[in-house]
Amino acid sequence: MIYLFTGAIGTGKTTYVTDQLMKADKQNQTHIQNGELDKVRQIFSNIDGLKVTHEPLPDDWRTTPKNSIIAIDECHKIEIYQPSRKVLHDDPRIVALNESRHTGHDIYFITQAPKFLHQHIRGLVNEHYHFHNPMGLNAATVFLWRNGNTTSPDSDAAKNKAERSFIYTFSKDVQANFSSVEDDAIHTKKRNIPKKVIAILTLLVCLISFISYKLFFDERTTGNLTGETFTNASKNLSAAKNDPESLGKQFAPSLAQDQISIECRKGANVEKPECVKYFDDLTNNKGSVGGETIVSYNPSNPYDLDEIQESVTYQVTAKPVFSGCTKMNGKYTAYTQQGTRIQNVSSSDCNRLIEDADRPFNYFAQDKTQQEYSQRDEQRYQSERQTRQSSEDIARHQQAKQEGLI
């Protein structure tokens, strides 16, 4: 059979062939020990520094015994194997390759690319192995085509048509059985891992580390997974209800504020230091047990709002919008939709509105129907809120009666 091994320099194709020759030599030694000399396959090769038992490569492969193994490294350097304009070779040594299978020969052609080999020989190849190792690692991806080798093995289309692919890892023992460079030469091939691959690997390591920490070291996560967090919370709540004396211990900083509010309304707990502090804070902050904010308001001083502003927070529901102008004693004044004055409105704008009756369009006004819907929704919300508050007041009153507070 005829084999073709291609790949860029340093991708491991000669290493792979040497590995195959070592296996064949090992079988030969076994046959010799067993006295089966007729099964010994003689090896011929020109691989530099090959330590496997072999004979030099002859000029004419037809002179070798039947069932021989012939490994031709850098075959593109041998003239008869070089490509030419002729599709069919006229050299008898090449023509005889058509019948090499009948003599039991295995011939290995090793070169960088298929196009470096004569097209006549390429047409006879039974198995084509292409080695791919762009990162310079100690392993290569090998693609295999049978009976239909490709001239562009690095293309995605060719790789998709490959019969199979596999990873071949370089062995130092194999590489020690031949010379990949001359004795006084220096290896210049370096590993070249793309930055994108490094970034992806780094991200994966960080992600795995984060997940491992969350699963095995974070108490909150491990507690949720094992049920310990829920169990402890249930025990603490039961102890607080069943043993009022232990309430002080249960009032840890992690206890929810609403739980403190519920426990401190009970008559047995009102004198607890934690409850005294709770009620004092409500008084100082002008709050209430129901969560409502209490403020002092004097209708005689409607503009005295400093204290109210310090006590409450509110959400803005309206913004000033230009509504119109007035003219008094020759002076124009602009107003918002709420009747408040707008500063820095030019007299020309007010004059245009009053004298020319040219009113600007109000982009913020609601249609009458939409405004009615908004008012109706607001009334419904206020009604539901009052009903809900009344229900809560009744519930508080009944609870206070049950606890003996009333």
- Position 254 scores a pLDDT of 42
Spell out the SS3 assignment of 121-175. HHCCCCEEEEEECCCCCCEEEEEEEECCCCCCCCCHHHHHCCCEEEEEECCHHHH
Tell how far CA 249 is from the center of its chain.
Answer: 45
Express the helix, strand and coil content of the chain in percent, nearest 5 each: 45, 15, 40
- The count of domains in the chain is 2
231 located within any domain:
no
pLDDT, average across residues 342-358 = 91
CA distances from 317 to 22, 121, 320 (A): 87, 86, 11
Average pLDDT of the residues of the chain: 81
For residue range 178-219, list pLDDT tens digits in order: 987 654 444 455 556 556 666 787 888 888 888 887 777 766
- Position 151 scores a pLDDT of 87
376 located within any domain:
yes
For residue range 351-381, list pLDDT tens digits in order: 999 999 898 988 877 766 666 666 677 777 6
279 located within any domain:
no
Last residue of a domain, one of 175, 190, 221: 175
> Which DSSP category does 8 fall into?
S
- Position 147 scores a pLDDT of 74
Last residue of a domain, one of 175, 196, 221: 175
Lowest mean pLDDT among 48-52, 99-103, 168-172, 200-204: 200-204
Domain that holds residue 380: 319-388
261 located within any domain:
no
> Which DSSP category does 77 fall into?
G
The amino acid at 127: E
Spatial CA neighbour of 263 closest among 391, 285, 249: 249
24 located within any domain:
yes
- Indicate the pLDDT class of residue 136, thresholds 50, 70 and 90: confident
- Position 167 scores a pLDDT of 96
Last residue of a domain, one of 109, 141, 175: 175
- The domain that holds 141 is classified in CATH as 3.40.50.300
402 located within any domain:
no
- Indicate the pLDDT class of residue 5, thresholds 50, 70 and 90: very high
pLDDT, average across residues 221-238 = 58
Rounded Cα distance, 117 and 128, in Å:
12
For residue range 100-134, list pLDDT tens digits in order: 889 999 999 999 999 999 999 999 999 999 999 98
Has residue 53 got a pLDDT over 90?
Answer: yes
87 located within any domain:
yes
124 located within any domain:
yes
- Indicate the pLDDT class of residue 224, thresholds 50, 70 and 90: low
Q: What are phi and psi of 263, to 5 degrees?
A: -70, -35
Highest mean pLDDT among 1-10, 142-151, 195-204, 260-269: 1-10
- Position 186 scores a pLDDT of 46
- Position 283 scores a pLDDT of 73
